[in-house]
Amino acid sequence: MSNRSQLFCLATASTVCFGTPAFAQDTVKIGELNSYKAQPAFLEPYKRGWELAVEDINAKGGVLGKKLEVISRDDGASPGDAVRVANELVTREGVNIIAGTFLSHIGLAVTEFAGKEKVFFLAAEPLTDKITWQNGNKYTFRLRPSTYMQVAMLMPDAVAAKKKRWAVIYPNFEYGQSAATWFKEMLKKAQPDVEFVTEQAPPLGKVDAGAIVQAIDDAKPDAIFNVLFGADLAKLVREGTTRGTFKNRVVVSLLSGEPEYLDPLKDEAPVGWIVTGYPWDAINTPAHKAFVAAYQKRWNDYPRLGSVVGYDTINSLAAGIAKAGSTDTDKLVAAFRGLKVEGPLGPFEFRANDHQATMGAYVGKIALKDGKGTMSDFKYVDGASVLPSDEEVKKLRPAAAMN
């Protein structure tokens, strides 16, 4: 227990202290924080996903014989606000398990908080590898495939394209910087003669699509690697399509096959782009079909990738708590190392060495169907197949975080 938490418990004379809140109450409480107002396209479906999971778990008797309760807050899309909110969830709401975050720099701020305050943190969505590697700690785990993993999933297609001159476009914050760095490093290793003829790194949410497209046309690349998402992606696609920037060029694009980002483009979806994504309407596995049916029944809507992430986040926490037989932080950390979970996309595991889940992603090409963007020629890539070995992880992760 941290000094700050000890003082809080003494000051309130409360039996609901930092390390043991779940056993002093009738519910198992989880604190959740996210950038709901700033990133609604992904996070509204995400919230529906975790709400569905909570309802399912409680309908089956809850966890450890208690109902599961999620206390959710908006993190203001600000690292400072996120740490303040995480602190309030712990001290005021009495939780010792927190989950969520979307943007990578927010996830890193909460990762640091979790390490300092010894709070269990499951990073649901932020993709930067620093969360589980360079900045990793004993108390932090991550669900979604990281930038390293998703770039590695796209790399076979990028190499097969045999293009020498590449343009790189990414939002200038931690997620974009990480993805661009890995892409250049991996492609250079596989194709030593590759040239990166221009890099465009606009601030998140402040894309001047015309200037970016002009810079790409001026550089005359053979291929483009894109990391923009959301409204920034839509602006790039529309401007680039109007000017013919993507014509006769291979485009490899992270996340662009996710319905959250394809749906707003409608029939303007850039056909032929090689992407990671989620072709929800064409996945025919029993687990996924059951999830879609339950989601549609509950929400009268189809799932997005965020829905899967939210659902898997809560189910992972419930599985970990059940395995630990407790919400004690150290017991939960031990339970999560090697924890196996069944999700809508298939089974995955939280690795003991770096706390990264092996959840995979779909790789394919953007296509049009009924006037909307979708994915074709897709395959599921297991996250375990693109993660580094134990020896490589030891070089990437602080020694203190390996304990």
**CA dist 103 → 220, 274, 384 (Å):** 32, 23, 23
Report pLDDT for 26.
87
pLDDT of residue 19: 40
| 242 shares its domain with 304 | no
Element (H, E) at 313: helix 305-324
User: Which H or E run contains 50?
Assistant: helix 40-59
Q: What is the pLDDT of residue 401?
A: 73
Q: What is the pLDDT of residues 351-397, one digit of tens each?
A: 999 999 999 999 999 999 999 999 999 999 999 999 999 999 999 99
Regarding whether 327 and 219 lie in a shared domain, the answer is no
pLDDT of 25 reads 66
**Are 273 and 250 contained in the same domain?**
yes
Tell me whether residue 355 is in a domain.
no
**pLDDT of the residue at 402:** 64
Q: Where are the alpha helices (DSSP H) in 174-281?
A: 174-190, 209-219, 230-243, 259-262
d(CA 368, CA 139): 43
Is residue 353 in some structural domain?
A: no
Residue 27, beta-bridge partner list: 67
Q: What is the pLDDT of residue 91?
A: 96
Q: How far apart are CA 28 and CA 36, in angstroms?
A: 23
pLDDT at 24: 45
Is residue 349, in this structure, part of any structural domain at all? no
Length of the chain: 403
- Is 133 inside a domain boundary? no
**317 and 225, same domain (yes or no):** no
Strand ranges of the sheet holding 223-226, from the earlier edge strand across to the other edge: 195-200, 165-169, 223-226, 250-257, 274-277, 361-369, 372-381
**Angle, vertex CA 100, rays to CA 372 and CA 275, nearest 5:** 30
What pLDDT, on the 0 to 100 scale, is given for residue 403? 64
Instruction: Tokens for 363, please give them.
Output: 């790789």
Q: Is residue 128 part of a domain?
A: no
Same domain, 246 and 315: no
Nearest Cα to 89, choosing from 143, 3, 8?
Answer: 8
Domain around 273: 148-281+362-386
| Token pair in block for residue 43 | 């996070």
Question: Which tokens belong to 63?
Answer: 């966890």
Domain count, the chain: 2
104 CB-side CA count, 13 A: 21
Could you tell me if 205 and 321 lie in one domain? no
210 belongs to a structural domain: yes
> Do 76 and 208 lie in a common domain?
no
DSSP for 336-370 reads: HTT-EEEETTEEEEB-TTT-BB---EEEEEEEEET
Closest CA to 279 of 294, 266, 262, 293: 262
CB atoms inside a 10 Å sphere around CB 51: 18
- The per-residue pLDDT for range 317-340, each reduced to its tens digit, is 999 999 999 999 999 999 999 999
Specify the residue for token string 């974009």.
176
Q: Which residue has the tokens 């908080």?
A: 113
Same domain (yes/no): 83, 117: yes
**What is the Rg, in whole angstroms, of the alpha carbon atoms belonging to the chain?**
21
Residues 95 and 201 in one domain: no
| Domain assignment present for 309 | yes
Same domain, 98 and 158: no
- Please check whether residues 228 and 288 belong to one and the same domain: no
Q: Which residues of the chain have pLDDT under 50?
A: 1-24
Distance CA 324, CA 402 (A): 19
pLDDT of residue 359: 98
CATH number (domain holding residue 174): 3.40.50.2300
Q: Look at strands 346-349 and 195-200 and give their pairing.
A: unpaired
Helix, strand counts (H, E) of the chain: 13, 14
Residue 252 half-sphere exposure toward CB, CA atoms < 13 A? 27
Q: Which residue has the tokens 């990028």?
A: 158
3-state helix, strand, coil in the chain (%, to 5): 45, 20, 30
Residue reference for tokens 């001159």: 165
Q: Do residues 64 and 321 make contact, with C-beta atoms less than 8 angstroms apart?
A: yes
Closest CA to 320 of 334, 307, 299, 308: 334
Domain-embedded: residue 131 = no
Q: Are residues 288 and 277 in the same domain?
A: no
Q: Is residue 226 packed enough to be buried (19+ CB in 10 Å), middle (13-18) or exposed (0-12)?
A: buried
Distances in Å between the alpha carbon of 79 and those of 24, 111, 170? 31, 11, 20
Locate 99 and state its tokens. Answer: 């989950």
